[in-house]
Structure 1
């Protein structure tokens, strides 16, 4: 298991996304999956994570004496069509909503994209297509397509839990709007050959889904307490040094509230355990908090600071038995200034 380690540092120019609501959820995203991995080992993984970009550089090796032809996939995070819980989506309305890119041995690859829409555990993709309804559950195009549905179809979808009626007052009176309640599942995939006894370099990148909350959810009346605190202590390995740094900032304000808001990134490390032997020969994790005045905390082992905003963890014969959650506290007053 990963040992607890917290890195808490003060920073100055924060660059974090503006939040439309008090809280917005992050979407957990991971790495690549092979359809056949019994003889293909991951010799090396170099993982870089920041609020703006995730890059992963792999070296795979086919240990057999025969070429291996297989499908390599990148599962995109599922998107729930729920009007009450809008997730953080970097490129709203686009099929490639994370801006995913991939290359093999330095050559760009154009992967296939498979979209499926699921409602109550049932694949409804064909029904959406037949009624010209986009799979993407948010956006004006989907709203207009649902408005145009014949009433019998809309009634059927409502009864089956495919859509719901969202009621709200926009200032001009109550509105009743047909709203998606399905789940979008997206996967990029491509075919590739791992030559016998040779190494292959695969690299991919995307823009992460960064969750956020105005203020701090784990601080109540100037004290670290409550269910959220207990959860954060487990997920992000909060320790005494981090808590002291937060309280120090709280002491600078008239009401004792810290001048921070939360940025959260979830990375699914356990997808890295689906290779031959299950271990990663040489694993390097680099996290960039973006701005020197932010506070950063995550769980890791033998983490070292390698730059003003960057931290690195290295491991040999690494088995990813848990996922990675990263918490970055930034100052909302500096959100418009940008920074690296």
Structure 2
């Protein structure tokens, strides 16, 4: 892990995180950062604790919220999934594109599974123009709101020429021969009405499958990762000299194995894996106790993320503990995974 990091990097809002090196583009899948609890406006709810667990398999977050008021407070509790836009320079990792709940988001209140209402809307923004909501149009044409995925493309192909023109003439979709590209953006938010009892604490727990970006191979050799690309990696993931040396050695071993030909050894079938967790802008102020745990899955995987004071607590896990802490930027995790597909 990067021990020379200056601060924990937590990024406000939800952002698309793309690989920084141009060498990655042909074999890359981008990730989408999700996260962040948003409450209705109030000044009586105190965020006593926030526990965040990050891994490439699952993200879990637990919030302990205390109502300081002498009366019960009914408030809207929201969790925004990342925006999904149809046209991307890179493929985007979506755990379950066929489901409206494409990150498999689940929520609990005081340890009990509970339901939240998923609201989804589609928007189109032309270059230099104003945003337009097109949710009703797409639903009227029986087109899924998810702009990525085979189901949406198939639905557009089945439209009549007249209905298809409703999408192409407005720029909502591009159709060239057999190529169909939806160009709108899907916004999704889970919301529930939660009553916070007077002078009591409520435990809210969220879990979801992260959008995990990947890039085949390792690009930390001096020929590929230099200049601006190196600076971006260092800023985003706090890749220090020790991490880069280990990654450079792995890259050279992969190159030597390829030169010899034959089957690549299992421990050299490596790829970059990256994912993140975002903090909503409208936070509740300082967290009384903030605990972050990051799991790299296998002991021999290389991992880097930005943290000041994080400690290794097991062969695969790192932990950061803060008090009276105000996160303001993204948690970005880079893993050089030596166990592809496991």
Shorter-chain TM-score bucket reads 0.7 to 0.9
- In the alignment, the residues of structure 2 paired with residue 80 and residue 31 of structure 1 have an alpha-carbon distance, to the nearest angstrom, of 20
Distance 1:37 1:235, change over 3 A: farther
- The structure-2 alpha-carbon separation of the partners of 1:5 and 1:296, relative to structure 1 and needing over 3 Å to count, comes to farther
Which of 197, 201, 204 aligns to 2:203? It is: 201
Asked whether the equivalents of residues 164 and 180 of structure 1 are also in contact (C-alpha less than 8 Å), the reply is: yes
Are the aligned partners of 1:219 and 1:229 in contact in 2 as well (CA < 8 Å)? Answer: no
Taking the aligned partners of 1:176 and 1:263, their CA distance within structure 2 comes to 32
Distance 1:193 1:115 in 2: 24
Check if 1:228 corresponds to 2:238: no
Distance 2:37 2:269 in 1: 38
Identify which range, 299-308 or 85-94, moves more after superposition. 85-94
More moved, 28-37 vs 320-329: 28-37
- Out of 279, 285, 305, the position equivalent to 2:286 is 279
Take 1:113 and 1:254, find their aligned partners in 2: how far apart are those partners?
47
Unaligned runs of 5+ in 1: 7-18, 167-174
- Structure 2 runs not aligned, ≥5 long: 10-23, 126-130, 259-267
Aligned to 1:228, the other structure's residue is in SS state helix
Query: In structure 2, the residue corresponding to 1:231 is in which secondary structure?
Result: helix
Does residue 322 (structure 1) correspond to residue 329 (structure 2)? The answer is: yes
Choose from 141, 157, 165 the match for 1:131.
141
Q: Identify which range, 73-82 or 154-163, moves more after superposition.
A: 154-163
Q: Sort the Cα spacing of 1:288 and 1:272 in 2 relative to 1 into closer, same or farther, 3 A.
A: farther
How far apart, CA to CA, are the structure 1 residues paired with 2:63 and 2:133?
A: 33
Q: Deviations over 1:64-118 (max 9, x none)?
A: 2221111101100111112653210111211111111101111211111101011
Distance in 2 (CA, whole Å) between partners of 1:239 and 1:308 is: 20
Instruction: Determine the C-alpha separation between the residues in 2 that align with 1:5 and 1:132.
Output: 44
CA–CA distance in structure 1, aligned partners of residues 271 and 222 of structure 2: 14
Question: 54, 58, 68: which one pairs with 1:53?
Answer: 58
Report the RMSD for the aligned CA atoms in angstroms: 2.4
Q: Hey, what's the Cα distance between the residues in 2 that align with 1:4 and 1:61?
A: 28
Question: What residue is the counterpart of 1:141 in the other structure?
Answer: 151
Distance 1:43 1:335, change over 3 A: same
Offset, 1:31: 2.3
Partner of 1:34: 39
Please give the TM-score of this superposition, normalised by the length of structure 1: 0.85
Matched, 1:303 2:307: no
State the match for 1:70 in structure 2.
Answer: 75
Task: Report the TM-score when normalising by structure 2.
Answer: 0.84
Partner of 1:107: 112
8 Å Cα contact 2:269-2:340 kept in structure 1: no
SS in 2 for 1:129: helix
